[in-house]
Structure 1
């Protein structure tokens, strides 16, 4: 079978790695555009993820049997609709479904309409009215760009003047372009965050293990929001009773809402949760595999990933289950200095290629190969994954990789997974 994976980050590396682990080398796998490490395990194609017409041409030319879409941008552009209209099998939600991520306002209005617990909110499309509202608001609160912003359009506001500046930058100076042409201001939720990936086939759903992301750039959840500085799985802060409540109050209400809206959702629904004293709330939805949660989940996933994705795309999960090994995985992101703001590229990475073992893996994200050497080519460069029977073992194994793989001015958080240790028995 010819398979095309769209994207070039750590998430796409993890997906390809898992398919090869399950299926061996019996498939021809292409990646567009891929990265320095993906090019060692698949054939990389110099087509960007948002060049959907070129991707269609390529899929026809190479007679691609199945396409897996990693990032949100091509999904929001309608790549799934385009491929389906050309009788090409593809995994991911269509353009209408993807609004659940591509517009924060759509998602908040959807949750409000169908009684899904989320923070109270007000939406604005002009600075003058937003400024008046913010001026009378007591922090903390949350300010979000309506559109896609690579995880960097959400701000926890501690000082009113910061909110006014951010709103002005988005609404008047167009700092995020169209993504920030509208904003949402939400009440601040106190609790612990968790991520839950849901696989849907339009009617049925299956759950991946809960995981926990670390969005802020510095230890202790300090600094700017990023695409994610690390994750671990499973997250044990959700017990059976709480999971049952999440199913009833959030997931099943969401699916029922999709049906009432005429949305045929086939793909991954990422549910970002805040676990508060009053119960679970939805912080955000994403319409694709989380990054870096996927990098923590794939190494402990026992089920055949390709079979699950193809079945969901066909609208027929049937009796399939998602099963996991009884292990923990901890993913630590190695980032370029300066990320999520400006950073330097082209810095040589020492210790690559890394020889993966049973308890240590390295997945490539923002890397490139030049003259036989791997160099940095993005903000999030590598994912160091440690595995263990216990969470502390997985954490220790992940950080051991820093002894062998590194680059100049490499930045990483030193506390990934620590929040989960309190649930260890």
Structure 2
């Protein structure tokens, strides 16, 4: 009998992490969790540690003593008082978990802080189940250079769908990739009608319940812009052969069009269980991960073009992806600052993407074009990330206590 795959889960208390542990719990003969990393949800990670008797627990905040105490309390209540895992705490805790030597490392961290753990997992030779798209996007050349063929398995539902569909043909037979988008809560609205959108409205995603940043990114379609860059990096398809189509039901997760005119689409409920399970078990499939589409029920699926005028984030992402180097890191970092400012009531909804565009253009005039992808280093990426965050705060008037003035359309217009 084949030994279970060992698994390290980064971001174990988030949506991806908790669903991954659900998959593991239903397949105990296939997987054994050896490492967990979390941010600050100590109670939940302690409960997870005891439930799965994990060897290594990595927590970003707190102290080793406090983490060990919380785990010990749960262990006693569960009748496993002798359980004593290794505990690491601090900014590099997730890197330690990622490099612990598990067969599979699921990176479910949100944001560019996932870059170092991604590189640590690849350096250790683990299969990287990648849900942290930002680490690939901001560190594209670094991550690709560090990965051997087949070492990265995408967990984003769109890229998992493409990977599954690509099994239907050879690379040279692919004409284009079609990435689907729900359109978010503001699908069909004009740019002008989005000026008074509130944070509460932006978080009302029609299909998914996600964290604040990801849900807002879905409303601005920044998330889809990031996914276009990710698709380019994962599958080596030029940007002019990657399309985005709005599909509000999100039953088809993405498609691959082949040179003979046929298209292969991957369909399933708008949930993450199948992509997560495939990330852990690739290239094999697990049984009964989710409920399939009920083809006996009458239903309609819609498809419509993306409105680039109302939602320019995808067009800007293509420009950023083509520029490569540190530009994707700047795009991502400026967005994170702008999203926080929006939810703090400092700027309007349209100012989010306008701010990204302004910071990207400023990066071009401040020497950003001098950093080539071939010579990109982790330090280059982190410096660009830090610069972009500072520049975004300056543009928004967040560095000196002055009230923020919304950007005009002219200032935020894509060039």
TM-score (norm 1): 0.31
Choose between structure 1 and 2: higher helix proportion.
2
Give the TM-score normalised by structure 2: 0.32
The structure in which a higher percent of residues are strand is 1
